[in-house]
Amino acid sequence: MLEGEVVSVSRNARPGTRQEILDAAARLFAATGFKGTSLQDIAGEVGCSKAALLYHFDGKDAILAELVAPAVAAFAALDARLAGLDEGAAQLAAVEGFVDLVMRFRREVTVLYGDIPDLLQRPALATVQEMTDRLLDALTGRSPEPAARASALMVLGGIPVVCLEPAGLGDDELRSVLIRSAARALNLPVA
């Protein structure tokens, strides 16, 4: 009551809108993907008009650009740092640096993968999520330990990526390399 006049935030001319837009966009991009999120969706989440978004940003792409800019810059810093190291040092620094990078910019990474959870929710792929959960369980040896789950999740997410781009290996070789790498990551005795 004392400060009713001051507290009452006018609906217009708020200074924090720009950051609110970025936060809302990050949430929506992560949930439904960049293409699956309209300016109207973001405006609704923020509580402003679509035109207000375009006052603060040059367009939908500009929102994405500003959202990921810090992560891209940090990635570039890592890239530059690795360039100055020899093989052995770079290898270790790459692992540590990439883990740090991804953990620090979880939100931005989630945006990058944003379309997948939306796809997985469609009827055609609805069962995949539960099956993936059970597969993760099997990969841990049915252990509930978070550390085991983390390792299994890395394997579960890493294997598909390998198959995305053509490796210079035949299928049989690639198969055995993948299985052995995964087994090492999971601390499994080599088959």
Partner DNA sequence: CTCAGAACTGTCCGATCGGTCAGATCCTGA
Partner DNA sequence: TCAGGATCTGACCGATCGGACAGTTCTGAG
Residues 34-73 binding DNA (CB under 7 A) are: 37-41, 48-52, 54-56, 59-61
Establish if 88 lies at the interface with a copy of itself (CB under 8 A).
yes
Establish if 129 lies at the interface with a copy of itself (CB under 8 A).
no
Given candidates 15, 18, 103, 121, which one binds a copy of itself under the rule CB under 8 A? 103
Q: What is the largest CA-CA distance in the chain?
A: 76
With CB cut-offs between 5 and 8 Å by kind, which of DNA, a copy of itself, none does residue 11 bind? DNA
With CB cut-offs between 5 and 8 Å by kind, which of DNA, a copy of itself, none does residue 153 bind? a copy of itself
Distances, alpha carbon 32 to alpha carbons 23, 29, 46, 118, in Å: 14, 5, 16, 5
Instruction: Give alpha helix (H) positions in 37-185.
Output: 39-46, 50-56, 60-83, 87-104, 106-112, 115-120, 126-139, 146-164, 171-185
The Cα 21–Cα 43 span in angstroms is 8
As measured in angstroms, the least distance from the Cβ of 32 to DNA is 10
Helix (H) or strand (E) holding 20: helix 17-32
Q: Are 109 and 102 in contact (CB under 8 A)?
A: yes
Establish if 128 lies at the interface with a copy of itself (CB under 8 A).
yes
With CB cut-offs between 5 and 8 Å by kind, which of DNA, a copy of itself, none does residue 112 bind? a copy of itself
Given candidates 47, 59, 79, 121, which one binds a copy of itself under the rule CB under 8 A? 79
Establish if 27 lies at the interface with DNA (CB under 7 A).
no
The Cα 179–Cα 191 span in angstroms is 9
Establish if 1 lies at the interface with a copy of itself (CB under 8 A).
no
Establish if 92 lies at the interface with a copy of itself (CB under 8 A).
yes
